[in-house]
A = this chain, B = another copy of it.
Amino acid sequence: MAQLQRVGSGGQRKEIILYAALDLFTSKGFFSTSVHDIGRHAEVSIGSIYHHFKNKEAIAKALYDLLLGEMGQQMNEIKRAHKSVHDRCRVIISTLFDLTESSPETMGFILHARHREFLPLEQPICSSRPFELMMKMVEEGIENGEIIKLDPVVVATSIFGGPLRMIHLMLDGVIEGPLSERFEDVWQCAWEGVSL
């Protein structure tokens, strides 16, 4: 994040604005963040912001696309690197845990930004590429007999629901200690429920 602010060309003002917005959106919330706030935090004038983005909503949208795109890429890599559905899901969850700890703002924004409230036109996150990828994996696992033969939606929620809830608790400050400590147990419970 910080390393994006290298001076020089001044070409990446857009990124600076974006990451300032991310900070504020996740700490104060979208509606309690004014464009003036973003300008101050990014040390950029309002005029500049409106030069790069049509309006406040467009900032959120750009952020959303950026973050979800990155996540999608990561999941593709995971898919390439691992063959069994077991390993893929396991690594995905582990990666999500890591992301939550290394960049809670990112995770928070993606997860409970309440997209539908300030991105009304946006499909819910579940129609996004990462979500589709997860579903695809689960379906594969059902076909090849690795996973219990049930409605894929049920299976997917069973595998990822527990870990995601854990992440929520973490972001809300309900849990202390590092997530990674609990990873093995969480994964155990999640997988036990759907494996054959």
Interface residues of chain A, those whose CB is within 8 Å of chain B, are: 29-32, 112, 114, 116-118, 124, 126-127, 148, 150-151, 153-155, 157-158, 160-166, 169, 172-175, 182, 185-186, 188-194
Contact of A161 among B32, B154, B163 (CB under 8 A): B163
| This chain: copies in complex | 2
Given contacts A150-B185, A161-B163, A185-B151, contact A172 B114 (CB under 8 A): no
Contact B162 A157 (CB under 8 A): yes
Classify the interface of chain A: helix, strand, loop or mixed: helix
Contact A117 B32 (CB under 8 A): yes
Q: Which residues of B contact A153 (CB under 8 A)?
A: 166, 169, 175, 182
Q: Nearest-CB distance from A96 to chain B (Å)?
A: 13
Contact A154 B189 (CB under 8 A): yes
Q: Nearest-CB distance from A117 to chain B (Å)?
A: 4
Q: A116 to B173, alpha carbons, bound, how many Å?
A: 11
Contact A172 B116 (CB under 8 A): yes
Q: Which residues of B contact A189 (CB under 8 A)?
A: 148, 150, 154-155, 158, 193-194
Contact A182 B154 (CB under 8 A): yes
What are 24 A-B interface contacts by the 8 Å CB criterion?
A: A31-B117, A32-B117, A112-B114, A114-B114, A114-B117, A124-B173, A126-B172, A150-B185, A151-B182, A153-B169, A153-B182, A154-B166, A154-B182, A155-B189, A157-B165, A157-B169, A157-B186, A158-B189, A158-B190, A162-B162, A162-B193, A189-B193, A192-B192, A193-B193
